[in-house]
Amino acid sequence: MKSRWFSIILGIVAILALATSLAAAATTSPNPAPIVAAAPASAGETAPQEAPAAIALAPAAAEPAIAASGGDNGTAAAEPPLAGQGGTCISGYVIDTYHQPQGAGWTVRITREGGAPQTKVVDAKGAFKFDGLQGGTYTVELEVPAGWVPFTPASFTVTLSGSGSACAEVRMKLEAQPCLDVIKLDADGKMGFAQPVGIPGWNITAMSPLTTVNGVTDGQGRLRFTHLSTGVWTVTEESRVGWLPAPGYTNQQRVTLIAPRVPGVCQSLQFVNKQVHTGCIQVIKVDAAGKPLAGWKVSLTRPDGTQAGITKVTNSAGLATFDNLALGQWRVKEEVPPNWRALGATETTVEVTTPGRCVTVTFKNEALGCVDGYKINQLDQGLAGWTIKARNDAGEEYTTVTDRNGFFQFHQLGMGTWHLSEVPQQGWEAVTAAEFDVNVTRPLVCEHVRFKNKTDYACVDIYKRDAWDNAGLPGWQVAIKPAYGGATQTGTTDGTGHVRFNGLTPGAYVISETLQTGWTPVTPQRQTVTLSATGICSVVTLKNRQTGSDVLPPSGCRFTHWVRYGDTLFSLARRYGTTVEALKRANGLWSDTIYAGTGLCIP
């Protein structure tokens, strides 16, 4: 209970102390009226009276905005003086953005509301001062010279009380505008001077995000841009015929300009050019989709034969650039590799007429697809000499013939659908489709196909040779008869000593020759062979020598090897310790092709 009464008493004492301090402040604090009263009264006006202390206390509960604009009766409320704002003078100084004193000799002007302006000159330390000023609001302005921009406002207001000797302290901060020296030099033509010589009359453009300025170099190749803004500038020199940037230089540069510490000291950059008397050809190599093609050979030749030919390879960007070319006509030619097709001319003639300028030539090529495959019989043996065709809806058509292994290939096909077909041969029946469509969608990749046929008939090729030199013997009668009875067929060798029996029923046959006068058999006159319906003719060789000849044939047979599937002359030569040429000579072969079922003389 005692503590409660003690708290109440302390609260009453605090309230009384606060009331006493407020009353003292009302009687001792300066009234706002002197700020207005300091200004001279015009004719017919009376100076405002000092507001009673009660008025100073009452607005304490009012909002600041209402007190500043006057009460309900429309009268203006007095402004209290600002601490440290100054009474009768304004002093200040001028600095740059590096906080160095600036402004010596510049003019500062102040103007009181309704009054005449006054001016002062900034001294060598960047300072100025206005004394003996009346109370009121002044506009303070600095006359900013060219080459400078305000960093803080160069014009503002200051309110003086008109009493006391204190000054309103102000400061103005300015930024020196950058400048840029551009130097244009000739890389050559020093003519005895130690350094490159400037090039006059060259147009230079400097561009920032806000503005663009232009200029021309003077007699020494120099140009100064002044009063520029800070920031990034792009400086570009004009492109002129017969001139190119010297190595290590470009015709456009970027520079970041900053305010100089020493006004008038400029940043600099230079352009160096080299006079040229030759031209250039740039070859662009692309595919059908416009993508660059690297590694393609391109060659240049002069139609008049006055310059050596040049060959280059395109880089990863598909470019091949030929520099330092003599002016005149040049022939440009691309080398198209396999499985590519030119979409246009592969050779053109261009005229190089302008020094330092490149003539552009574009070659466009299409990557081609491929279809390959085999023509085989029912025993999966390759069939040579069969015609295969490929055509598309655009009217393109290609024809090829299977090789000795039955292989064929079309390697120049454009993307799309191709119709493949085989040309049928008499006595053969298709086992798989004889024609079909193939979709070619992968450049430089072969799609694989196969044609398969069967036949019911066998055949045999018989060669009649002179054992002396393996020359063919024409006009010899050869007979073939089924080994176990049946009709005999006869034939006569042609100029090469060859005769064929075709359309035979598969099985065993006896082959015999009719001996002629003056000849002695070297190989048996009768030979038995087994023929299969493979579409590949068996081969039998019959040899004779001239009767009475004392000279033996150049090679005799140690024995006969019957060719099996997979044998080659090379493998047989290694097996029997002879050579391919000896085997061919002994058997009268003109190529490396041998067929299963054939008897070969091993010399």
Strand partners, 187: none
Q: Which of 532, 500, 535 minimizes the C-alpha distance to 385?
A: 535
Q: Give dist(CA 597, CA 574) in Å, integer.
A: 20
Contact in structure between 286 and 292 (CB atoms under 8 Å)? yes
For position 493, what pLDDT does the model report? 96
Range scoring the smallest mean pLDDT among 250-254, 339-343, 384-388, 465-469: 465-469
Q: Which of 196, 214, 197 minimizes the C-alpha distance to 205?
A: 214
Q: What is the mean pLDDT of residues 477-497?
A: 95
> Which of 454, 488, 509 is the endpoint of a domain?
454
Q: Are residues 473 and 568 in the same domain?
A: yes
For position 35, what pLDDT does the model report? 30
Of the pLDDT bands very low, low, confident and very high (cuts 50, 70, 90), residue 551 is: very low
Return the residue matching tokens 């655009």.
Answer: 394
* pLDDT value at 36 more than 50: no
* pLDDT value at 390 more than 80: yes
Of the pLDDT bands very low, low, confident and very high (cuts 50, 70, 90), residue 591 is: confident
Contacts of residue 259, Cβ cutoff 8 Å, sequence gap at least 6: 96, 97, 98, 175, 176, 177, 178, 230
Q: What is the pLDDT of residues 49-94, one digit of tens each?
A: 333 333 233 333 333 333 344 444 555 555 565 555 789 999 999 9
* pLDDT value at 4 more than 90: no
Strand partners, 401: 387
For position 468, what pLDDT does the model report? 79
Q: Give dist(CA 439, CA 547) in Å, integer.
A: 64
Q: Give dist(CA 374, CA 384) in Å, integer.
A: 9
Q: Are residues 376 and 476 in the same domain?
A: no
Q: Are residues 230 and 301 in the same domain?
A: no
Q: Give dist(CA 356, CA 240) in Å, integer.
A: 9
Q: What is the mean pLDDT of residues 149-176?
A: 94
Q: What is the pLDDT of residues 270-303, one digit of tens each?
A: 999 998 899 999 999 999 899 999 999 999 999 9
Range scoring the smallest mean pLDDT among 59-68, 145-154, 344-353, 481-490: 59-68
76 is a domain residue: no
30 is a domain residue: no
Q: What is the mean pLDDT of residues 369-393?
A: 94
Q: Give dist(CA 498, CA 493) in Å, integer.
A: 5
Percent of the chain residues topping a pLDDT of 70: 84
Q: Of 10 and 466, which is predicted with more confidence?
A: 466
Q: Are residues 468 and 593 in the same domain?
A: yes
26 is a domain residue: no
* pLDDT value at 136 more than 60: yes
Give the residue numbers spanning the domain of 472. 458-602
> Which of 316, 346, 367 is the endpoint of a domain?
367
Token pair listed for 265: 């000291």
* pLDDT value at 37 more than 60: no
* pLDDT value at 3 more than 80: no
Q: Are residues 524 and 586 in the same domain?
A: yes
Q: Give dist(CA 203, CA 223) in Å, integer.
A: 9
Q: Are residues 482 and 577 in the same domain?
A: yes
Q: Give dist(CA 48, CA 37) in Å, integer.
A: 6
29 is a domain residue: no
Q: Are residues 595 and 476 in the same domain?
A: yes
For position 396, which CATH number holds? 2.60.40.10
Which amino acid is residue 324, in one-letter code? N
Token pair listed for 329: 């006509």
Q: Give dist(CA 198, CA 184) in Å, integer.
A: 5
For position 45, what pLDDT does the model report? 38
The SS3 assignment for 490 reads: strand
Q: Are residues 188 and 163 in the same domain?
A: no
Contact in structure between 391 and 397 (CB atoms under 8 Å)? yes
Of the pLDDT bands very low, low, confident and very high (cuts 50, 70, 90), residue 576 is: confident
Q: What is the mean pLDDT of residues 360-367?
A: 95
The SS3 assignment for 54 reads: helix
Q: Give dist(CA 252, CA 247) in Å, integer.
A: 14
Q: Are residues 374 and 363 in the same domain?
A: no
* pLDDT value at 23 more than 50: no
Q: Are residues 598 and 466 in the same domain?
A: yes
Q: What is the mean pLDDT of residues 340-357?
A: 93
Q: Which of 389, 373, 486, 375 minimizes the C-alpha distance to 428?
A: 375
> Which of 157, 175, 193 is the endpoint of a domain?
175
Contacts of residue 308, Cβ cutoff 8 Å, sequence gap at least 6: none
Q: Are residues 290 and 360 in the same domain?
A: yes
Percent of the chain residues topping a pLDDT of 90: 66
Of the pLDDT bands very low, low, confident and very high (cuts 50, 70, 90), residue 322 is: very high
The SS3 assignment for 58 reads: helix
- In eight-state DSSP terms, residue 7 is H
Strand partners, 489: 480
* pLDDT value at 491 more than 80: yes
For position 25, what pLDDT does the model report? 38
Q: Give dist(CA 240, CA 346) in Å, integer.
A: 32
pTM (global) more than 0.75 = no
Query: According to the per-residue pLDDT averaged within each range, which of 139-148, 425-434, 518-527 is highest?
Result: 139-148
Q: What is the mean pLDDT of residues 550-555?
A: 46
378-391 burial string, b = 16+ CB within 10 Å, else e? eeebbbbebebbbe
Q: What is the pLDDT of residues 410-454, one digit of tens each?
A: 988 999 999 999 999 988 999 999 999 999 999 889 999 999 999
Q: What is the mean pLDDT of the chain?
A: 85
For position 599, what pLDDT does the model report? 78
Q: Are residues 463 and 598 in the same domain?
A: yes
Q: Give dist(CA 217, CA 184) in Å, integer.
A: 7
For position 83, what pLDDT does the model report? 58
- The count of structural domains within the chain is 5
55 is a domain residue: no
DSSP notation for 336-392: PPTTEEESS-SEEEEEE-STT-EEEEEEEEEE-EEEEEEEE-TTS-B-TT-EEEEE-
Contacts of residue 550, Cβ cutoff 8 Å, sequence gap at least 6: none
118 is a domain residue: yes
18 is a domain residue: no
Q: What is the mean pLDDT of residues 309-319?
A: 96
DSSP notation for 543-593: EEEETT--SPPS---SEEEE--TT--HHHHHHHHT--HHHHHHHHT-SSS-
> Which secondary structure element, helix H or strand E, spans residue 102, and what is its range?
none
